[in-house]
Amino acid sequence: MTKKLKILFIPRWYPGRVDPLNGIFIKRHALSVATKHEVAVLYVSADPGMKGSIYDKEFVVEEGLHTCRVYYNNSVADIPVISTIVKFFRYLRACKKGINLLSEKFGRPDISHIHVLARTFFSAWYYKYFYKTPVIISEQWSGYHAEDGLYQGFFKKMLTQIAVKNASAVTTVSESLRDAMLSHGLKNKYSVIPNVVDTKLFSPFATRTRQGKFRLLHVSNLNDRAKNVSGMIHAIAKLSEKRNDFEFHIVGAGPDRSISESAAKKHNLLNRVVFFDGIKNAAEVAELMRDADLFILFSNYDNMPCVMVESFASGLPVIGSAIHGIKEHVKEGRGIVVTPGNEIALVHAIEKALSTIDSFDKNALHEYAKKNFSYEEVGERFNSIYQKMLQK
């Protein structure tokens, strides 16, 4: 039996009081590791709404995860260079406060596990420098991809290069993200470990009888630049000129919801063919996926969308853009991929899928999700890397 290790997750994004859904996929990675080891989380975040204090910290045990959150007030006078230095100093002090609290409540970790670079490396470097604690990096940020292009800036690149060079292992959620990081000269031994899905919550109905129209579904943060929700609506408008036996339901909220709603209004589809259902919790999303016929994911760029693996687990085939982590998993029997941005191709793919909808095996889709994305499977993959790290 594998000895239980103390694993410290240091995430860039994580659910907290500023945003309870931020980085939920990272928390799922932590929960997968917790199936085999003892896990703590150190999450440091700015909180612009803080009043009367500079720092605030809490320690709770959530779903078995020893969770330390430290918030700092980043509302400072906007003075060039000076304000940046002050914010950075407050971040570092918040990290140290979290480390001190974890030392008291959790003890010294055996491994530091960074999720998303770059400033998260400072806390991991503390343990590496003083206690020789090995570091693993898990990256999920799309900024390394050329389509996104946010991997820029001297300081960010320098710190990222130092972090990757000094890590004992690096994981990415897709092969394409690994290749993008390597293209930037970020060399290390990489492993691909995907996002996690709760295959008990996300599962197909034992039997389902379709009533009424086909239901097409999309779930995201409605970031139009990345997810291209308006492009989906333009395609749906073209499809609605040919047939009227479907509805398109959009779940989520975000900065660009108004853009998407405007596109639906322009085509006279809003609340007639296209429906915006707002934010739903995980159980509600699972229910919607069980009751849908197709999931649509027309992203301009993406890594390893959690909604894709949730769809598979729900027995729901995916029509997705032929990019990155999507094309790595949307294969024959699991859906159809189309050229990103090609609305005509999206229309044809939806038509083809609907005409052969009963050929998709819901149970086979669910089993694919269990085999590749379950808590137990992902936890075992991380465990294998941890054991190798400690043998060095």
- Contact by Cβ (8 Å): 302, 321: yes
pLDDT digits (tens, 9 = 90+) for 130-177: 999 999 999 999 999 988 889 999 999 999 999 999 999 999 999 999
Enumerate the β-bridge partners of residue 275.
Answer: 249
Its pTM stands at: 0.91
Which tens digits make up the pLDDT trace of 56-96? 999 999 999 999 999 999 888 788 888 989 999 999 999 99
Q: CA–CA separation, 30 vs 65, rounded Å?
A: 8
Architecture of domain 214-372: 3-Layer(aba) Sandwich (3.40)
- Within 10 A of 152 (CB to CB), how many other CB atoms are there? 8
Task: Give CA–CA dist 112/128, Å, rounded.
Answer: 8
Could you tell me the residue ranges of all domains in the chain?
6-196+374-391, 214-372
Backbone angles phi, psi at 325, to 5 degrees: -65, -20
Distances 369 to 62, 198, 308 between C-alpha atoms, Å:
25, 9, 10
Distance CA 156, CA 174 (A): 22
Report the CATH fold assignment for 6-196+374-391: Rossmann fold (3.40.50)
- Strands (E) in the chain, as ranges, are 6-11, 38-46, 55-62, 65-72, 111-115, 135-139, 169-172, 190-192, 214-219, 246-251, 274-278, 294-297, 318-321, 335-338
Note the pLDDT tens digit of each residue in 329-364.
999 999 999 999 999 999 999 999 999 999 999 999
Task: Give the number of C-alpha atoms closer than 13 A to the C-alpha of residue 71, restricted to the C-beta side.
Answer: 18
The average confidence (pLDDT) of the chain is 94
Q: 283 forms bridges with which residues in the sheet?
A: none
Give CA torsion, residues 27, 230, 344, 319, to 10 deg: 20
Asked whether this chain's domains 6-196+374-391 and 214-372 adopt the same fold, the reply is: yes
